[in-house]
Amino acid sequence: MSESLFSLQGSVAVVTGGARGIGKAAARALAQHGAGLLLVDRLEAELASTAAELAEAGAAVDTLLADVTADDIGERVRAAATAAGPVTVVVNAAGVMVRSAITELTVTELDTLWRVNVRGTVEVTQALLPQLIERGYGKIINVGSLGSVRGLERRTGYATTKGAVAQYTISLASEAGAYGIRANVVAPGYVATDMASPWIYGDADRTERLRARIPLGQFATPADLAGTFVFLAAPASDYVTGQILLVDGGWTTT
């Protein structure tokens, strides 16, 4: 029984930002539980490397080299997903970060953040919703942040977009449940990814200040989030929707 709760056999998962970081960790974990993959990313070399690595481990992997801000991203993702197989899981992990003091944040920076973090998430989801609705079942997992629920130092623009991702997901869940679709947010704390590590480790005093705030006493790695994606993608979470699941080592308890 426990194995069937976490089995993804027969599923295809579309993972944006799947070439590295959190997206790659999610893709690897889903594949280990039986899902086929369609990885979407704009990083050509890293996308090819990740696909080869996962295929060598036995996963069925298709790729789409694309930027989620492209005008035709919906059409391209829809076509690639149709070719890959019956999609039941969508993971929107593509994201960007801009750090600016509140007095220095520009509209141009906010536009960049919005196009990737919010518009990209919405467009990919909207493109795949008809397939999920037709099947009468699906799991949408959007990557938020501590910034979905808390203020972030020098990341007001980023937090604004991650708050929007959370609210979009909650609202999506309220409508999509009628079609058998669940939608949830994975909201990581401080994760040592290529994007976040320069901030986490760039100043010794800041590193220790951040670490001291985490009850578990350590920063996460992308692999620390893997089980959360499996849970939300698998039948084990079929009665979970519209939730923001914080994976933060206890940051929000302090």
Q: Which residues are catalytic?
A: 158
Spatial contact of 31 and 78, defined as CB atoms under 8 Å apart: no
| Pairing state between β 12-16 and 87-92 | parallel
CB–CB of 229/141 below 8 Å? Answer: yes
Give me the DSSP letters along 178-243.
Answer: GGTEEEEEEEE-SB--TTTHHHHHSSHHHHHHHHHH-TT-S-B-GGGGHHHHHHHHSGGGTT--S-
User: Which stretches of the chain are DSSP H helices?
Assistant: 2-5, 21-32, 44-56, 73-84, 107-113, 121-135, 156-176, 197-201, 204-213, 226-233
The two tokens of residue 43 are: 């990083």
Report which DSSP code applies to 6.
T
Strands 12-16, 138-143: pairing is: unpaired
Spatial separation of the C-alpha atoms in residues 35 and 184, rounded to whole Å: 19
Helix (H) or strand (E) holding 63: strand 61-65
Are 99 and 197 in contact, with CB atoms under 8 Å apart?
Answer: no
